[in-house]
Amino acid sequence: MSIILTGDRPTGKLHLGHYVGSLKSRVELQEKHEQYVMIADLQAMTDNNADIISTNILEVMKDYISIGLNPDKTTFLLQSAIPELTELTFYYMNLVTLGRLERNPTVKTEIQQKNYENSLPMGFLCYPVSQAADITIFQADFVPVGNDQIPMIEQTNEIVRKFSATYGEGIVKEAKAVLSNTQRLVGIDGKAKASKSLGNAIILSDSEEEIRRKVFEMYTDPNHIHVSDPGKVEGNVVFEYLDAFYEDKNHLEDLKAHYAKGGLGDVKLKKLLNQTLQDFIAPIRERRNALNDADMKNILLSGTKKAREVAVRTMKNVRSAMKINFFEQH
């Protein structure tokens, strides 16, 4: 049985990008593996304010349960309640250089998006190191993620190799990314990635009206003015969402050909996408409305306790390999 670890920042409610990039795989993986799902509140602190983070912890828990993660099969944990994660991050910082962190392409893009060029918090630059601690403390084999996370897994594995070469093999191990069919869902504005902080995502708990509004706001092809004009399928957000959510792939191919040739209007296409997404989200929203905060808190608390035991065990081995267990030795 493999070990799976993944997580989300509680910077807002989860969206369709999370679903296709990672949540869907988690629902499948929980059936056959030992899965940990972490709410990364400390990682969220690197660029967000504490109020937003604490209000979203239970919201994210509700998202998890409403999309089909099962607390009997998946262990949920809250990052800040496991201090061993912070401790391991601190040790790992000696195994990575500033230059290497600055070259991380995902972090580079995010630094630009957040206008951090002249005021970069060290914690933000180091968040891939903290992710390395998250992954390795649970001895994860696989990490189901969107492709923005590939550089984080590479970074993790470099740290693991350095750790093993310095302090001995077998204490922490390398992990592999599990990528889905839709590795990165675009934003409704056409930006490369739908994300909570960019506000360009359809949320898994959006109302019927919000979904409709967002679908009709979607970026299509600015040169497709008249229905009869040939339209561009490539880079067309509506088609990207249909690719991810519309199940009749043959029909979708016909629609693409029709759109490219001319004669298929954006409104017709958006109506189809709207219906597709309404059908997908309605049952999730319904399950979510039946959930309450107290139950979510209990699930998270008991999962965190269980996960902490694993973290404590790994850290005992880490400290002893690093010879920082002085009082136990003397």
Instruction: Determine if 62 is a binding residue for ligand ATP (CB under 6 A).
Output: no
Please state the closest distance from residue 197 (CB atom) to ligand ATP, in A: 3
User: Do 160 and 168 meet the contact criterion of CB atoms below 8 Å apart?
Assistant: no
Phi, psi of 176 (to 5 degrees): -120, 145
Taking the least distance from each CB to ligand ATP, the nearer of 196 and 308 is 196
Q: Which two tokens stand for residue 310?
A: 């694993």
User: Which of 185, 202, 156 has its CA nearest to residue 12?
Assistant: 202
Please state the closest distance from residue 123 (CB atom) to ligand ATP, in A: 14
Instruction: Determine if 9 is a binding residue for ligand ATP (CB under 6 A).
Output: yes
Instruction: Determine if 270 is a binding residue for ligand ATP (CB under 6 A).
Output: no
Instruction: Determine if 148 is a binding residue for ligand ATP (CB under 6 A).
Output: yes
User: Do 106 and 155 meet the contact criterion of CB atoms below 8 Å apart?
Assistant: no
Q: Which two tokens stand for residue 42?
A: 């400390």
Cα–Cα dist 42/309, whole Å: 19
Taking the least distance from each CB to ligand ATP, the nearer of 64 and 91 is 64
Instruction: Determine if 195 is a binding residue for ligand ATP (CB under 6 A).
Output: yes
Please state the closest distance from residue 192 (CB atom) to ligand ATP, in A: 9
Extended beta strands in 102-150, E state: 142-144
Q: What letter represents residue 173's amino acid?
A: K
Please state the closest distance from residue 211 (CB atom) to ligand ATP, in A: 16
Instruction: Determine if 258 is a binding residue for ligand ATP (CB under 6 A).
Output: no
Instruction: Determine if 146 is a binding residue for ligand ATP (CB under 6 A).
Output: yes
DSSP symbol at 186: P
Instruction: Determine if 224 is a binding residue for ligand ATP (CB under 6 A).
Output: no
The separation between CA 324 and the C-alpha centre of its own chain, rounded to angstroms, equals: 34
Cα–Cα dist 330/319, whole Å: 14
User: Which of 304, 314, 313 has its CA nearest to residue 36?
Assistant: 304
User: Do 29 and 193 meet the contact criterion of CB atoms below 8 Å apart?
Assistant: no
- State the residue number with the nearest CB to ligand ATP: 21
Q: Taking contact as CB under 6 A, which single stretch among the options 26-34, 73-81, 145-153, 278-286 is the one that binds ligand ATP? A: 145-153
Overall residue count recorded for the chain in this entry = 330
Instruction: Determine if 61 is a binding residue for ligand ATP (CB under 6 A).
Output: no
Please state the closest distance from residue 178 (CB atom) to ligand ATP, in A: 10
Binding mask 151-190 for ligand ATP (x = CB under 6 A): ---------------------------------xx-----
State which of residues 26, 62, 193, 319 lies at the interface with ligand ATP (CB under 6 A): 193
Cα–Cα dist 193/201, whole Å: 9
Residues forming contacts to ligand ATP in the complex (CB under 6 A) are 8-9, 11, 17-18, 20-22, 145-146, 148-149, 184-185, 193-197
